[in-house]
Every structure is written in C-alpha cells, then in structure tokens.
Amino acid sequence: MSEEENVEIVRRWLEEGWNGKNVDLADELFSPDFTAQGGPHGKVSFSDYKLYVQAALAAFPDLRCSIIDLIPAGDIVVSKVRVRGTHTGKVQAVAPTGVEIDTQVTDVWLIRDGRIHERQNSEFDRSGLSDLLNVDVMFRSGQ
C-alpha cells in the first residue's frame, strides 16, 4: 500500500469511526491481531479496543476528533488530533460531570496490507483528564 493509502485508512478511522460513531468500522480497517498501547486503556487487544471506543463515546457523546496532521512514513502514520467533548454520559460507574475536555492526542499507527495492526499512543493527558473528571481515568475491559 502507498503512504497515501495508509493515511486514508487512519483518516477514515478518525472521521468515520470516532466522529461518525461507527465502531464496527474497525472490523474492516483493523487486523484481528491488532493491539493498542498507551492512553487511558494500557495495552489492549482488538476486542478490548473496540470496547474502549464504545465507552469513550458513551461518556462523551459529542466527542469530536479534529485532525491536525497525518504524517506518513512507509508503513507508519503519525496522527496529531485535537479531541473535544463534554462528559454527559455515564460509564464505568462514573456519573456525568458536564466537564468539557479539549486535548491533543498523538498516535503512531502501523499499517500492513491495508489494515491497522498496531496503535501506540505517544501523547495523551490521562492525568489532566483524571483531574478534570475527579476520577482515575483508566479503561478496564468489560466495565
């Protein structure tokens, strides 16, 4: 796949998956052996990553990812995204706080054979989010 095609895969996930709230798009774009590491979920498998996305979208129903930059480097795409939303949904026994988040997230995505195999988070302000919501923000599978 070309670098442009790899960028388009990541763009689709951010715009159609996150912004479009189409978590099932992951079944098309991600490899079954996908792993994600970093951010508020630690290291997770494909199925747990989908649960994490569902939980985040439930907690922040108006969540929007604005792409700042997508930088290709062979099989790697680095994304820089501004994430905004309001905590109006209950998730993991945390009641809605009405707190608005506005943060930047940097991820490194590994694309092989037209599918996302890995996502490594390199910038996510978990402690800042925890402070805003007054809870320890850490996704736990099945919650």
**How many DSSP H helices and E strands does the chain contain?**
4, 6
Instruction: Evaluate whether the domain defined by 3-132 bears CATH number 3.20.20.480.
Output: no
What pLDDT score does 41 carry? 64
What pLDDT score does 101 carry? 83
SS3 (DSSP) at 67: strand
Q: Name the residue ranges covered by the structural domains of the chain.
A: 3-132
Q: Label the pairing between strands 30-37 and 44-45.
A: antiparallel
Report the C-alpha gap between 115 and 9 in whole angstroms: 8
Residues sharing a CB contact under 8 Å with residue 53, sequence separation 6 or more, in sequence order:
17, 18, 23, 26
SS3 (DSSP) at 24: helix
Residues of the chain with pLDDT under 70: 39-41, 123-143
Work out the number of other CB atoms within 10 angstroms of the CB of residue 6. Answer: 23
CA distances (Å), origin 107, targets 14, 39, 69: 11, 9, 11
CA distances (Å), origin 64, targets 28, 67, 117, 129: 21, 10, 23, 16
Report the C-alpha gap between 76 and 56 in whole angstroms: 25
